[in-house]
Amino acid sequence: MERREVAWSRRAADDPGARDGSQAVHRALRVLTAFLELPGPYVALADLARHCHLSPSTTHRLVAALVDEGYLAQDRATSRYYLGARVLQLGRRAVQELGMAQRALPVMRGLAQSEQASVNLGVLQQDQAVYIQKVESPQALQLNLPVGTTVPVYCTAIGKVLAAHLPERARRALLQRLRLEPLQRNTLVDADALWQEWQRVRHAGYAVDNEEFLAGVICLGVPIRVAGEVVAAMALQYPKVHLEPGGILAHLPNLQRAAREVELLIGGRLPG
């Protein structure tokens, strides 16, 4: 083992390319880490260079490479940079691999029994929400939306919660990208109305899908937070005919308690 380490050290010393390659990796990671340490999701190139103690030209080369690979993206209006889709994909993969879906399962099973509803757990994936865990309702009538199903963020309870808790710039950009299709009579297809709905969800702490995605189906969703950041959303899903006179909001306290239980189970084990 010692001979191999000595041999590698000699090769590295004799090969400037090996040193430069390692240095470039370290510098690129420093640039990415800066987005955790600097305020706001959008950061100017000059601020990155200053924070990382790199020259503007070196920072520009590193940032350009990270943009090409999808780890950073540039806001055209301000020329500032923000974390790209690849970082979000890695974060979601880490969340899943660290077992959030598995840890949440016992809580979701208990909730499904107590509320006599289907329970879904979802995360944001590009411009949609994806179910990473699901427990079917104990009642005979079930809904065929298995794990892996992607649903819109503008007309589902889980999707609204996840979209509502994005940073404002990211929410506005998402709103511009969305194609608001009238899937049901109650679906919000006006961009201003959807923005106001996301604002309401953000402040109220819950979202309702009132037959906006599926006819005859009403859902209630709440956020799942780790270290103050929304990493997922959990929702109850009912056929309208199964709801009591009190309506879907009668189930909000139990759903919120279950969400806190999930947060306790996954807290400290997820990135951030």
pLDDT score recorded for residue 94: 65
Residue 272 maps to a domain? no
pLDDT score recorded for residue 7: 36
Q: Enumerate the H helices of 126-190 as residue ranges.
A: 157-164, 168-177
Give the end of a domain, one of 29, 64, 83. 83
Assess whether 161 and 186 both reside in one domain: yes
Assess whether 245 and 199 both reside in one domain: yes
- Which parts of the chain register pLDDT below 50? 1-19, 97, 268-272
Radius of gyration of the chain (CA): 22
pLDDT score recorded for residue 92: 65
- Inter-residue contact 101 to 121 (CB < 8 Å): yes
CA distance 113 to 107: 10
CA atoms within 13 A on the CB side of 243: 19
pLDDT score recorded for residue 197: 97
- Inter-residue contact 239 to 217 (CB < 8 Å): yes
Assess whether 156 and 75 both reside in one domain: no
Assess whether 66 and 170 both reside in one domain: no
Residue 216 maps to a domain? yes
Full residue range of the structural domain in which residue 47 is found: 2-83
Residue 35 maps to a domain? yes
Domains held by the chain: number: 2
What is the distance, to the nearest Å, from the Cα of residue 87 to the centroid of all Cα atoms in its chain? 11
pLDDT score recorded for residue 147: 84
Assess whether 43 and 146 both reside in one domain: no
pLDDT score recorded for residue 223: 97
Assess whether 54 and 125 both reside in one domain: no
Give the end of a domain, one of 25, 56, 83. 83
Question: Residues 265, 99, 128, 222: what is their CA dihedral angle, to the nearest 10 degrees?
Answer: -10
Give the end of a domain, one of 83, 110, 142. 83
- Inter-residue contact 214 to 243 (CB < 8 Å): no
Assess whether 179 and 221 both reside in one domain: yes
